[in-house]
Amino acid sequence: MTQNGHLVFKSGVNHNISFQAVSGGFINVGNEDLSVIVQSVKDNRQRIEQLRTVTTTATPSNLASRLAEVEQRLNSLQPTGQVLSQLTDITNRITNIESVQQALNIRLNQVEQSLGSSGQIQTSISRLNSRFTSLRNTVRRYHRGRNITRGISRRIRRLERRVNQLRSLLTADECSSNPCRNGGTCIDRYNGFTCKCPNAWQGVTCELDVNECGIYAGTDLGCQNGATCVNSQGGFTCRCTADYHGVLCTERHDDCTGASNEQMCGHGTCVNPKYTCICDDGWTKSGSDPSCTVDVDECNERSNACSVDPQVPCINLPGTFRCGQCPAGYVGNGFSCADINECANNNGGCSLVPRVDCINTRGSRSCGPCPSGYQGNGVTCSWVGLCGTNNGGCHPRAVCSENPGFGGRMCTCGQGYVGNGVGASGCVQQGPSTGPCASNPCRNGGICQNSGSSFSCVCNPGFAGVRCDSNVNECSSNPCQNGGICVDGVNGYNCQCTGSFSGTNCQEQQQSCGGTLTEESGTLTYPATPGTSYPHGVDCAWEIRGTVGKILMLTFTQFNIEQHSNCNFDYLQIHDGPTASQHRIGKYCGTTLPNGGTVNTTTHELYLWFHSDESIASNGFTVTWRSVLPVCGGEVTGNNHGMISSPGYPGNYPNDRNCVWRISVDPGNNIVFAFAFLNLESHVNCSHDYLQIRDGSTDDSRLMGTYCNSSILPAPLTTTSPHGYVLFHTDHSVTRKGFQLTYAGVSAGPQCGGTLTDASGSVMSPNYPSPYNHDASCVWVISVHEGDQITLTFAAMDLEHHYDCQYDYVLVRIFSCSNGFFFI
């Protein structure tokens, strides 16, 4: 029957409503087979029964008797007062176990909901929790009992292991190994998984082919008119008799007029005049059969259908294919997988105090060694001290004091000695202030010592000579390898490496495809051998890290990548940050240098991604980089309209910046500022990141507005003069996309400002002889030829009075230039 548009099934008293499917039919609810849902409920009920009998769920009853025994023995103890600290430790461990148990309760609730559980697991854990509470209260009352301490500790450790095992089972992702085959979808379960198979496959992992010939026999879904059904992996085909053709052998005509494309060709299009099928992508024909019923196995025909490095499984599907998940340590869609920089977040789990270098590797990361004075694996480092060995490397006359905050130790020269205290020459006897040393002849911090009628200088590292006035040339030993150029410094040197090598001494050969470059400056050439073409089918990623607090300036000197209007084939992609998830500066191909040849970042890190397809290769690119101090803001003149934006826009702006723009338009104009975009860190008082606009050219001009919230774009602002001042400030944390601000000069109105070049003329306030406007700032520039003089005669003056002219005033300034004098 129907009620209010709804279809209602209603049985008679003591009667049933039954749905039965025969001959391969299905009963569907939505898109789901009802019989599959019922079977799933049965399977889940069976798993719940299994959970009730496994070791982990049997633990509460087993533990209950043991805990009861412990409680009885505790009650019979006599006070000894000798194991207080041990029992306190046990109490703390029980408390920690309870915290873990609370987390497990939440997870078990989720498991029960997904499996349709009746709550038996939760009940058991609740009983266990009650026992823990009882035991903890008993231990707190007595805090004694040496004879049973070891027994309690063993039992608690055993229980901890069982709880950890249960937690591992609950949190493990059994689908991570891609167990489902033939396009099956994996669903993670408690201590297992379930595969949702495509229609043509069955089995626990969808490994068994469904025999469609047996299922569809005698139905209109199978082969017709005496055709022979041939079952195949993932489908079936019909071998028609001589008089019939088509996918199911239902057609007798030899053109495309009698049936649909699907009936005639399967996965193809039928074309006339003769019955011919043009197959869709992913399908092909078998022998003389004109229909498109054979799936193309893209995974076997294409060696690189999915990511090769790292290896990702290719899963063939009817008419198409898909790629499995990228392995741990990588991110992507399976067609391509990019390495995750684990070091970008929380130093990759490596020690922060003291800080240990996190080294990103393909698919993982490693932690460097602990610094001097510490021991550990790099994830944790424990302070053990330095001074106990060889006086910590200090001079014999220096006192070594342990101090983790200053490189592990401090060296202090004893009384009468000076120096940094480090090493064999770290302390020298303090030079006299009389005799030959009285004139301080030693340079660059050298220590003077009298020697008869002469003197001698003890030089600091990096200097030499009688007076320590010569810089030691550290490049004299040719430390730079593999063609690197050595640049001498003070007590050090710097190697400028070629494009094929990197490292402090250019000792490390750059990876041919991708890698991490950590020098302050350098050159990257790909391919490494100039004049050769880059290989087909590669994806290379380079991360460049410069000096913290600086930005990277890239200069392209050579660029030749296969041309395409959208760079869809071969391309170089540049990201403003250490990973591909950062803002993309641009995607480049062809022979034009990216961004005119120069690209600047907003931080000290950059990510380059080069991709090539399977055809056409060119010569690649050469780019040099160097770390430079960031510059933003500036003087904006010579244009009556334009646009300014935050550093890195539309990517995120950097931290710790103060950018000031001073904008000037032609005299006689005011400036209208309009917001095109605004997205800054939000704060009720704009105390963190903010944008300020002032009516004038200095930082003490009238404040027109301070902005940091971006829910609604602010209204346009208009200055009262041809000058504007814009300040953009960011703090040390949290960044957003920033702002984009347009400016334009608009007339200040009749009689308000302008440029005057005639030999004579007059200037008057706006509206004269009527009162002038409030909040007006009019600027006139009067220019005459060189050698001429300008005489100003005031015919009338009626302004608001103030003893220091702080309110309304006329200001006259004289500026000299090559063309004469300017009066303002």
Assigned domain for 530 exists:
yes
Predicted confidence (pLDDT) at residue 63 exceeds the cutoff of 70? no
Give dist(CA 90, CA 458) in Å, integer.
Answer: 62
Helix axis angle for 146-171 and 55-75, nearest 10°, is 160
Q: Are 626 and 521 in contact (CB under 8 A)?
A: yes
Domain boundary residue, one of 628, 650, 667:
628
Assigned domain for 125 exists:
yes
Whether 291 and 308 map to the same domain: the answer is: no
State the pLDDT confidence band at 660, using cuts at 50, 70 and 90: very high
Of 334-343, 421-430, 564-573, 650-659, the one with minimum mean pLDDT is 421-430
pLDDT of residue 703: 94
Assigned domain for 26 exists:
no
Q: Are 738 and 680 in contact (CB under 8 A)?
A: yes
Helix or strand run (H / E) with residue 450: strand 447-451
Write down the pTM of the prediction.
Answer: 0.34
pLDDT of residue 503: 65
The model's pLDDT over 107-117, given as tens digits with 9 standing for 90+, comes to: 666 655 654 44
Prior bond of 198 cis (ω within 30°)? no
CA-based nearest residue to 670, from 766, 592, 548:
766
Scored b (16 or more CB within 10 A) or e, 553-572 reads bbebeebbbbeeeebebbbb
Assigned domain for 188 exists:
no
**Structure-model confidence comparison of residues 637 and 24, the more confident one:** 637
Give dist(CA 193, CA 178) in Å, integer.
Answer: 10
Give dist(CA 579, CA 581) in Å, integer.
Answer: 5
Helix axis angle for 146-171 and 84-115, nearest 10°, is 30
CA-based nearest residue to 67, from 5, 138, 135, 146:
135
pLDDT of residue 757: 79
Scored b (16 or more CB within 10 A) or e, 391-426 reads bbbbbebbebebebeebbbbbbbeeebebbbbeeeb
State the pLDDT confidence band at 570, using cuts at 50, 70 and 90: very high
- Count up the domains in the chain and report the number: 8
Q: Are 606 and 574 in contact (CB under 8 A)?
A: yes
CA-based nearest residue to 532, from 602, 619, 610:
619
pLDDT of residue 512: 66
State the pLDDT confidence band at 75, using cuts at 50, 70 and 90: low
Whether 525 and 621 map to the same domain: the answer is: yes
Q: Which of 237-246, 368-377, 618-627 has the highest mean predicted lDDT (pLDDT)?
A: 618-627
pLDDT of residue 702: 92
pLDDT of residue 509: 63
670: buried, middle or exposed (CB in 10 Å: 19+, 13-18, 0-12)?
buried
State the pLDDT confidence band at 516, using cuts at 50, 70 and 90: confident
Domain boundary residue, one of 606, 628, 650:
628
Give dist(CA 330, CA 335) in Å, integer.
Answer: 12
Whether 41 and 155 map to the same domain: the answer is: yes
Residue 676 half-sphere exposure, CB side, CA atoms within 13 Å? 11
Whether 655 and 717 map to the same domain: the answer is: yes
Assigned domain for 237 exists:
yes
3-state secondary structure of 236: strand
Give dist(CA 297, CA 316) in Å, integer.
Answer: 6
Q: What is the CA angle 648-651-656, rounded to 5?
A: 55
Assigned domain for 242 exists:
yes
State the pLDDT confidence band at 622, using cuts at 50, 70 and 90: very high
CA-based nearest residue to 245, from 232, 236, 254:
254
Question: Where in the sequence is the domain holding 561, given as residue range(s)?
Answer: 510-628
pLDDT of residue 375: 79
Domain boundary residue, one of 585, 610, 628:
628
Whether 652 and 676 map to the same domain: the answer is: yes
Whether 234 and 289 map to the same domain: the answer is: yes
Predicted confidence (pLDDT) at residue 492 exceeds the cutoff of 80? no
- Which residues does residue 364 pair with via DSSP β-bridges, in sequence order? 361
Residue 345 half-sphere exposure, CB side, CA atoms within 13 Å? 4
Question: What is the CB neighbour count within 10 angstroms for residue 80?
Answer: 13
- Which residues does residue 86 pair with via DSSP β-bridges, in sequence order? none
Assigned domain for 516 exists:
yes
- Average the pLDDT over 398-422 and give the result: 72
Whether 731 and 805 map to the same domain: the answer is: no
733: buried, middle or exposed (CB in 10 Å: 19+, 13-18, 0-12)?
exposed
Give dist(CA 602, CA 597) in Å, integer.
Answer: 17
Whether 115 and 52 map to the same domain: the answer is: yes
Predicted confidence (pLDDT) at residue 158 exceeds the cutoff of 60? yes
Q: Extract the tokens encoding 821.
A: 């004098």
- Average the pLDDT over 631-645 and give the result: 87
Give dist(CA 757, CA 635) in Å, integer.
Answer: 26
Q: Are 261 and 268 in contact (CB under 8 A)?
A: yes
**Residue 465 is part of a domain; what is its CATH number?**
2.10.25.10
**Structure-model confidence comparison of residues 134 and 63, the more confident one:** 134
Whether 371 and 324 map to the same domain: the answer is: no
Of 169-173, 472-476, 623-627, 724-728, the one with minimum mean pLDDT is 169-173
Whether 622 and 653 map to the same domain: the answer is: no
The model's pLDDT over 725-773, given as tens digits with 9 standing for 90+, comes to: 999 999 988 888 889 999 988 888 766 777 777 778 888 888 777 788 7
**Residue 645 is part of a domain; what is its CATH number?**
2.60.120.290
pLDDT of residue 819: 43
Q: Are 248 and 212 in contact (CB under 8 A)?
A: no
Whether 309 and 268 map to the same domain: the answer is: no
Give dist(CA 195, CA 188) in Å, integer.
Answer: 9
Whether 363 and 292 map to the same domain: the answer is: no
The model's pLDDT over 445-487, given as tens digits with 9 standing for 90+, comes to: 778 888 888 888 888 778 888 888 888 888 988 989 888 889 8
Assigned domain for 113 exists:
yes
